[in-house]
Structure 1
Amino acid sequence: MTRSFSRRRFLALSAKGIGAAVVSYGLMGCNSNDDDSDTVAATFKHGVASGDPLSDAVILWTRVTPVADAKVKVSWQVATDAAFSQLVTNGETLTDSARDYTVKIDAVGLKPGTRYYYRFAVGEQQSPTGITKTLPEGSVASVKLAVMSCSNYPAGYFNVYELAAQRDDLDALLHLGDYIYEYGRGQYASEHAAELGREVLPANELLTLSDYRTRYAQYRSDASLQKIHAKVPFITIWDDHEVANDAWKEGAENHNDGEGDFELRKEAAMQAYFEWLPIRPWQAGDNQDIYRSFSFGDLLDLHMLDTRLLARDKQLDYADYLDANGNFDQTGLMAALTDSSRTMLGQTQLAWLQQQLQTSTATWQVIGQQVLMGRMLLPAAVATQQMSISDYAELGQLAQLAARAQAGDPTLTQAELDYLLANQAKLTPEVLALLQLPNIPYNLDAWDGYGYEREVLLQTIRALGKNTVVLAGDTHNAWANNLRDQDGNAVAVEFATSSVTSPGMEDYLALDPSQIDSYEQAVVGMVADLQYTNLLQRGYLLLDLSAERAAATWYFVDTILSSNFTEVSARQRQGYVLAGTPTVVMAAQS
Structure 2
Amino acid sequence: MQRHDDSKPLTNLLQAAHASTPPAADGGRRRFVRQITLGAAALGTLPLAACGGGDDDAPAVQFAHGVASGDPLADRVMLWTRVTPPADFSAEIPVQWEVASDAAFASIVARGEVRTSAARDYTVKVDATGLKPATVYHYRFKAFEATSPTGRTRTLPTGSVAQVKLAVFSCANYPAGYFNVYADAARRGDLDATVHLGDYLYEYGQGGYASGNAAALSRLSQPANEILSLADYRTRHAQYRTDADLQALHAAAPMIAVWDDHEIANDTWMNGAENHQAAEGSFAARKAVALQAYHEWMPTRNAQPDVIYRSFAFGNLLALHMLDTRVVGRDAQVDYAAFFKPGGFDAAGFTAAVGNPARQLLGTAQTQWLQQQMAASSATWQMLGQQVLMGRMNIPAPILMETLQPGSGVTVSRYAAIVAKARTAPATLTPEEQAILAQPSIPYNLDAWDGYQAARETVLGMARAMNKNLVVLAGDTHNAWASELNDMNGNPVGVEFATSSVSSPGFEEYLPNENPATLSAALLQLVEPLKYCDTARRGYMVVTATATECRAQWVYVNTITSRQFTTSAETTLAVQAGTPGRLLKV
* Same fold at TM > 0.5: yes
Question: Is this contact kept in 1: 2:264–2:287, CA < 8 A?
Answer: yes
Match of 2:273 among 252, 264, 267: 252
Partner of residue 362, structure 2: 345
Q: 1:489 maps to what in 2?
A: 491
State the secondary structure of the residue aligned to 1:341. Answer: coil
The one-letter code sitting in structure 2 at the alignment partner of 1:306 is D
Q: CA deviation at 1:382?
A: 1.6
Partner SS state of residue 279, structure 2: coil
Tell me, yes or no, if the aligned pair for 1:480 and 1:584 is still in contact at 8 Å.
no
Amino acid at match of 1:557: V
Shift of 1:568: 2.8
Superposed CA RMSD in Å reads: 2.1
The answer to whether the Cα contact below 8 Å between 2:271 and 2:284 also exists between their aligned partners in 1 is: yes
Aligned to 1:328: 345
1:473 to 464, 472, 475: 475
Correspondence 1:387 to 2:410: yes
The answer to whether the aligner puts 1:498 opposite 2:515 as a matched pair is no
Shifted more, 34-43 versus 69-78: the winner is 34-43
1:56 partner SS: coil
Deviation at 1:36, TM superposition (A): 11
Who is 1:59 aligned against? 78
Alignment of 1:244-393 (within 5 A): 244-281=265-302, 283=303, 286-325=304-343, 327-384=344-401, 385=403, 386-393=409-416
Which secondary structure state, in structure 2, belongs to the residue aligned with residue 221 of structure 1? coil
Shift of the 102–302 alpha-carbon distance from structure 1 to 2, 3 Å rule, reads same
After TM superposition, the runs of 4+ consecutive aligned structure 1 residues lying more than 2 A away are 26-41, 394-403, 431-437, 515-518, 583-588
> Is contact 1:74-1:120 (8 Å) kept?
yes
**TM-score of the superposed pair, with normalisation by structure 1:** 0.87
Q: Deviations over 1:310-342 (max 9, x none)?
A: 1100000111111034x1111111111111110
* CA–CA separation in structure 1 for the residues paired with 2:511 and 2:109: 54
- Of the candidates 170, 175, 179, which is equivalent to residue 191 of structure 2? 170
Relative to the length of structure 2, the TM-score reads 0.88
For 1:75 and 1:483, the matched residues in 2 are separated by 48
Q: CA, structure 1 residues 172+27, in 2 after alignment: closer, same or farther (shift >3 Å)?
A: farther
Q: Aligned equivalents of 2:298 and 2:45: distance in 1?
A: 26
Task: Confirm or deny that 1:102 pairs with 2:123.
Answer: yes
**1:161 and 2:182 correspond:** yes
Distance 2:199 2:557 in 1: 19
Distance of 2:530 and 2:585 partners within structure 1: 15
* Structure 2 letter corresponding to 1:310: V
Query: Could you tell me which residue of structure 1 aligns to residue 549 of structure 2?
Result: 549
1:510-589 → structure 2 map (5 Å cutoff): 510-512=512-514, 515-569=515-569, 572-587=570-585
Counterpart for residue 83 of structure 1: 104
Displacement, 1:31?
A: 12
3-state SS of paired residue (2:308): coil
Matched, 1:193 2:195: no
Partner Cα distance (1:552, 1:443) in 2: 23
SS at match of 1:310: coil
Amino acid at match of 2:62: T
On the 8 A contact 2:96/2:143 being kept in 1, the answer is yes
2:453 to 447, 451, 454: 451
Deviation digits for residues 487-529 of structure 1 (CA, Å, limit 9, x no counterpart): 10100000000000011122212254xx422221110111011
Q: Is the 8 A contact 2:205 2:221 kept in 1?
A: yes
Equivalent residue, structure 2, for 1:231: 252
In 1, Cα distance between the equivalents of 2:143 and 2:85? 10
2: CA distance between counterparts of 1:351 and 1:215? 35
**Amino acid corresponding to residue 457 of structure 1 in structure 2:** V
Give the greater-gyration-radius structure (CA): 2
Deviation, structure 1 residue 388: 2.1
Contiguous gaps of at least 5 residues in structure 2? 6-38, 47-56, 404-408
Q: Distance in 2 between matches of 1:469 and 1:134?
A: 22
Amino acid aligned to 1:540 = Y
The aligned residue for residue 21 of structure 1 is none
- What is the rounded CA distance, in whole Å, between the counterparts of 1:166 and 1:70 in structure 2? 38
Q: Distance in 1 between matches of 2:85 and 2:60?
A: 6
Take 1:398 and 1:467, find their aligned partners in 2: how far apart are those partners? Answer: 40
Tell me the CA shift for residue 28 of structure 1.
Answer: 8.0
Percent identity over the alignment is 54
Measure the CA separation in 2 of the matches of 1:78 and 1:398.
66
Deviations 1:439-471 (A, max 9, x none): 010100000000001101111111100111000
Equivalent residue letter for 1:51:
G
How many Å apart are 1:183 and its aligned residue?
0.6
CA distance in 1, matches of 2:435, 2:40: 71
Which segment drifts farther, 395-404 or 358-367? 395-404
- Residues 335 and 27 from structure 1, CA distance in 2 versus in 1: closer, same or farther, beyond 3 angstroms? farther
- Among 63, 74, 97, the alignment partner of 2:95 is 74
Distance in 2 (CA, whole Å) between partners of 1:541 and 1:185 is 30
Is this contact kept in 1: 2:492–2:582, CA < 8 A?
no
Residue 195 of structure 1 aligns to a residue in which SS? Answer: coil
- Inter-partner Cα distance in structure 1 for 2:182 and 2:426: 51
Q: Hey, what's the Cα distance between the residues in 2 that align with 1:466 and 1:278?
A: 30
Aligned-partner Cα distance in 1 for 2:327–2:129: 30
Q: How far apart are 1:205 and its partner, in Å?
A: 0.4
- Contact 2:58/2:145 (CA < 8 Å) preserved in 1? no
Instruction: Report the Cα distance in structure 1 between the residues aligned to 2:417 and 2:380, rounded to whole angstroms.
Output: 46
Deviation at 1:583, TM superposition (A): 3.0
Change (3 A) 1:579 1:153: same
SS in 2 for 1:44: coil
Work out whether residues 495 and 583 of structure 2, in 8 Å CA contact, stay in contact via their aligned partners in 1.
no
Q: CA deviation at 1:34?
A: 5.9
> What secondary structure does 1:258 align onto?
helix
Structure 1 residues 261 and 33: CA distance shift in structure 2, 3 A: farther
Q: Are 1:388 and 1:509, in contact at CA under 8 Å, matched by a contact in 2?
A: no
CA distance in structure 1 between the partners assigned to 2:323 and 2:90 by the alignment: 37
